[in-house]
Structure 1
Amino acid sequence: MTKKLDGRIALITGASRGIGAAVAKRFAKEGAHLVLTARSTNALEELDDYIRSRGGKRPTLVPFDLNDGDQIDLLGSALHERFKKLDVLVSNAGILGGLRPLGHYSPKMWDETINVNLTSNWRLIRSLDPLLRASNSGRALFVTSGITKANGRPYWGPYAASKSALETLIRTWASELERTKVKVNLIDPGPVATKMRAEAFPGEDQKKINQPDDIVNTFVELSTTENDIHGQRVEISV
């Protein structure tokens, strides 16, 4: 059976759990060579064991914190040194930053949420743009949220602001890539049973919403060489 991502080099951020881990497992099944990043070394090693125990290619594990922009630059340099290109970027990492009135956030909490959800994505673009262009069919996917469609939902300040700004950032980059082979899209996964979702909606029964494995098909299809969708906000409805 043909593997849809056979031989493609794919970087996934926030890969240690939730959506990121589910995408990594499916990408491995589809033949991708994975570069996986997350803050938790132990969780990455567990994912590595899972993938290899099921016949997947051994992933490259890169434990680091997206708050450290210099590490993102070093990652780009290391990928260039080893692979000379990047076929797929899945920017999944993000934080909620807590839910409270705007005036109750500390500057540290605000800065960290904006940095992880927005600024780190700009740093990824800055570092990885040349590598995606070097691929014959570079693909980049950025996970957004339905919060951007809400008309000012209270208590979600830094998260909503960061995701709204991310969408503008990615649309801008997509416009800049219009005449290249690189395809860039946003993915709104909808309600998915993750740790962040449980933090935001503590009374919700997560068995009644999509599980991470339920939504990975969209990530695969948008990462293939055949995909020609570009500059779109793709909403997953399963």
Structure 2
Amino acid sequence: MTEALDLNGQIALVTGASRGIGYFLAKELAAAGAHVVAVARTTGGLEELDDDIKSAGGQATLVPLDLTDMAGIDRLGGAIYERWGKLDVLVANAGILGVISPLGHVEAKVFERVMAINVTSTWRLIRAVDPLLRAAEAGRAVVLSSGAAHSARAFWGPYAASKAAVEALVRSWAHETENLPLRINAANPGATRTAMRAQAMPGEDPNTLPHPFEVAAKIARLASRSVTETGAIFDVPQNKFLHYQMPQ
């Protein structure tokens, strides 16, 4: 994945696009020529993103949407179909940390919100755009995961469980579509200088971490038609794909 990313004429949907990695992913995809459909709850952040994209000569459509609005996700899929009839790139980036706490101390409403945003809305998004990605010449889907899905470190239970579930969705979806041009992968950004990381690690010096634009530049490459892997996880810190054992 060393050639210049060319997404001219393509439609790319990015969730969690108002800040952090999602913000810079949207900018990267727009800079490569894609028309970016930017989804987030925060209207101000979306408007700032729109200004940045347009000032660089790109195009974006802003969608203020809380991803707990499952019917809203369905409507989004319908609106993309009505306007473009396809979707070339999906980047499911939105997610929340919840709390860092012993499992026995996590409130039910906190656990349920983590699962609703990180897992259920991701599935709902997949369901909404699967036919649109299949309609594209060579659809690409990227779902953000985390090393927590594998480390399952103490006190990170809800978040770790949600990201493990997300990776299972990615793998199943990839196996279902492996004979199509559609390629579907997860991405582990690693420790990044974001608000979520600061919430999880309040004593950490953010200047020791990569900036979100550095991480986004690497993840954006997964939208390239040159990507042949599917059902894998792209590990940003190692800058390589990690492959799961295929089912027998």
Same fold (TM over 0.5): yes
Say yes or no: does 1:217 pair with 2:217. yes
Percent identical pairs in the alignment equals: 49
What aligned pairs does 1:41-190 form with structure 2 within 5 A after superposition? 41-57=43-59, 59-150=60-151, 152-190=152-190
Which of 30, 39, 42 is equivalent to 1:28? 30
Q: Which string of whole-angstrom CA distances, capped at 9 and with x for unpartnered residues, describes residues 208-227 of structure 1?
A: 11111112233232101222
Q: Is the 8 A contact 1:222 1:229 kept in 2?
A: no
Letter in 1 for 2:214: D
Q: Is the 8 A contact 1:22 1:216 kept in 2?
A: yes
Distance 1:79 1:55, change over 3 A: same
CA distance in 2, matches of 1:2, 1:223: 11
Q: State the match for 1:6 in structure 2.
A: 8
C-alpha displacement of 1:115: 0.8
TM-score, normalised to structure 1's length?
Answer: 0.96
Q: Is the 8 A contact 1:139 1:223 kept in 2?
A: yes
Give me the CA root mean square deviation.
1.4
Q: Secondary structure at the match of 2:228?
A: coil
> How many residues align structurally?
236
Q: State the match for 2:246 in structure 1.
A: none
Distance 1:111 1:2, change over 3 A: closer
CA distance in 2, matches of 1:37, 1:86: 14
C-alpha displacement of 1:169: 1.2
Q: Is the 8 A contact 1:4 1:220 kept in 2?
A: no
List alignment gaps of at least 5 residues for structure 1: none
CA distance in 1, matches of 2:25, 2:217: 9
Letter in 2 for 1:45: E
Q: Secondary structure at the match of 1:160?
A: helix
Q: Is the 8 A contact 2:40 2:63 kept in 1?
A: yes
- Which runs of structure 1 show a deviation greater than 4 angstroms over 4 or more consecutive aligned residues? none
TM-score, normalised to structure 2's length?
Answer: 0.92
Q: State the match for 2:21 in structure 1.
A: 19
CA distance in 1, matches of 2:43, 2:98: 22
C-alpha displacement of 1:148: 1.5
What aligned pairs does 1:189-208 form with structure 2 within 5 A after superposition? 189-208=189-208
CA distance in 2, matches of 1:123, 1:196: 23
Distance 1:230 1:3, change over 3 A: closer
